Amino acid sequence: MNNITRVTKALISYNGSDVPRINHALKVFSFASFIAHSEACTDEEIFIIEAASLLHDIGIHNAEKKYNSCAGNYQEIEGPPVARDLLSPLSLPEDVLDRISFLIAHHHTYNKIEGIDYQILIEADFIVNIYEDNMNADQILSVKKKLFKTKSGIALIESLYEKQ
């Protein structure tokens, strides 16, 4: 079993019967993986992107318990410790764990996106959220202009959501 399969298994186990959250994570993972491969990321970048995309919302349950909210800022606080616990059996290098934790701790922070891994996580999450939140055409265009930078992410948002 490879490490991404292990992360996926941990995600599913941790979320239990919360199928909507599992489905969201798996959709974000699929788009993030597609964009990462399309953008010719390195193997390490791909692993970081895929792991972070699977675990990006892992703090939701603790946020709901502690703050009675699943707001993004609470997810960013609560997610990294849970992710580290779930990733600990993999014996990953500390710099990889740090980067995955950083991405989880900033996946709702859009004003200083630095690094292809961060960019791809934001784009993949928005590609899924556009559909799940039923965003209108003006909202989609605004998100595209403000946040999308990769050729693959832009092509996806145009293909999926812009009327021909």
Q: Are 161 and 140 spatial neighbours (Cβ–Cβ below 8 Å)?
A: yes
Angle at CA of residue 100, ends 21 and 56, nearest 5°? 15
Which residue stretches of 39-150 are H helix?
Answer: 43-55, 60-67, 72-87, 94-106, 116-132, 137-147
Output the pLDDT for position 80.
97
At 114, give phi and psi (nearest 5°).
-125, 125
- Who contacts 77 (Cβ-Cβ below 8 Å, separation ≥6)? 59, 63, 105
Number of domains in the chain: 1
pLDDT, tens only, 11-43: 999 999 999 999 999 999 999 999 999 999 999
What pTM was estimated for this model as a whole? 0.96
Look up the CATH number of the domain holding residue 116.
1.10.3210.10
Token representation of residue 109? 């922070």
Q: What is the DSSP letter of 162?
A: S
Q: Which range marks the domain in which residue 13 is found?
A: 3-161
